[in-house]
Each structure stands twice: as structure tokens, then as C-alpha cells.
Amino acid sequence: MDEMSEFIKELMEKNEVEPIKIKQGIIAYRKYLWALKHIEDKVIKLKQYRQQVIDDINVGIEKQEANINRIKKEIQDAMIQDPIVDSTKTGGRTLSLPDIATVSLSKIRENVVINDEEALLKKLGQEFAKIKVSLDRTKAKRHILETGKIPENVEIKKGRTLSIRFKK
């Protein structure tokens, strides 16, 4: 296993791989596959760790945002009821604390909230519809391969897929 650790360490430091010796039989591939498996396992663990850290941070952010929303709601409710808060000409409210902030609460406005777009579209008619046109990529690729005509902004790339399935 020391030989394997050295091989992996060498790979990490040099960022290059010495060529596999040809005509040496399948044993020549052994250390490369073990190194690949080890490195892939490490990447998987690092990705899981990163996701756990991100999830923990997201939970913390959500908690703090909930606190922010509760505080804002409390300030808004108090500003509406408290006679000490100044009224504006337009029907809003304003509160100024020079050393901290100026808080403004707008007048009550009507907002349209659409709950069921399809039902509303049926009721209002097609003049309110939008059509989004996009390329059917699968159909276009098939057409180019079948006709052999390669339009501008298209290139044909050849490649292979290497598939390795590790045993647990």
C-alpha cells in the first residue's frame, strides 16, 4: 500500500501521469485503477462534506432571514398603530432615528396576484398569451447528422466515453 500512496502522492504533486506500459498485461492497469478509485472516493467525500457545510450555512441563513422578517413585521405593525410615528402626505408613515435609521412605510397599494395563470388565460383570451420559441436541440442534431450539412455556429466533435464501475 505504500507504493500506492507514493503513486497517488506523485500524481497530486506532478499533475501528470506516466504512461501505462503497453503489452504488460492487465496488471499494468492495476495501480492506475486503484489510484483512480482512491481519488474518486476522496472527491465524493469532499463533495458530501461541502454539501453538509453548505446545508448548515443555508439553515443558519434561513433562521436569520426568518428573524429579520419577524422584526420587520413587528416594526411595521407598531408603526401603523403608534401615534408618535409621523404620517406622510401620501398616506404612509415615517420614523427617523438619526443615529440608526429612517423607516418609511408606504401607503396601502393594490397588488394583483395571479394564482392560476392557465384559467386566467382562458378567461382573458389569446391576446394575453406569450409564445417562447426555442431550438429543439435533439431534432437539430439528428438533422445535421443525417444530412451531413454543417451550418454556421455548429461544429462536429468526435470523442469517446470512458466508463469505469468500481466494485464496493
Query: 83: pLDDT confidence band, cut at 50, 70 and 90?
Result: confident
Per-residue cell: 115: 394564482
Residue 109 or 60, more confident: 60
Is the Cα dihedral 109, 110, 112, 115 positive or negative? positive
pLDDT value for 162: 59
Residue 77 or 166, more confident: 77
Q: Which of 14-28, 39-53, 87-101, 120-134 has the highest mean pLDDT?
A: 39-53
Residue 54 has pLDDT above 90, yes or no: yes
Q: pTM to 2 decimals?
A: 0.58
What is the mean predicted confidence (pLDDT) over 10-35?
82
User: What is the distance between the alpha carbons of residues 45 and 160, in angstroms, rounded to a whole number?
Assistant: 27
Please report which helix (H) or strand (E) contains residue 104, including its range: strand 101-105
Question: Whose CA is closest to 39, among 47, 50, 29?
Answer: 47
Q: What share of the chain is helix, strand, coil (3-state, %, to 5)?
A: 55, 5, 40
Please report which helix (H) or strand (E) contains residue 93, including its range: strand 93-97
Residue 16 or 155, more confident: 155
Question: Counting every residue, how long is the chain?
Answer: 168
pLDDT value for 2: 76
- DSSP state, residue 28: H
Residue 10 has pLDDT above 80, yes or no: no
Please enumerate, as own/partner, the contacts of 102-105 that have beta carbons within 8 Å and a separation of 24 or more: 103/75, 103/79, 105/76, 105/79, 105/80
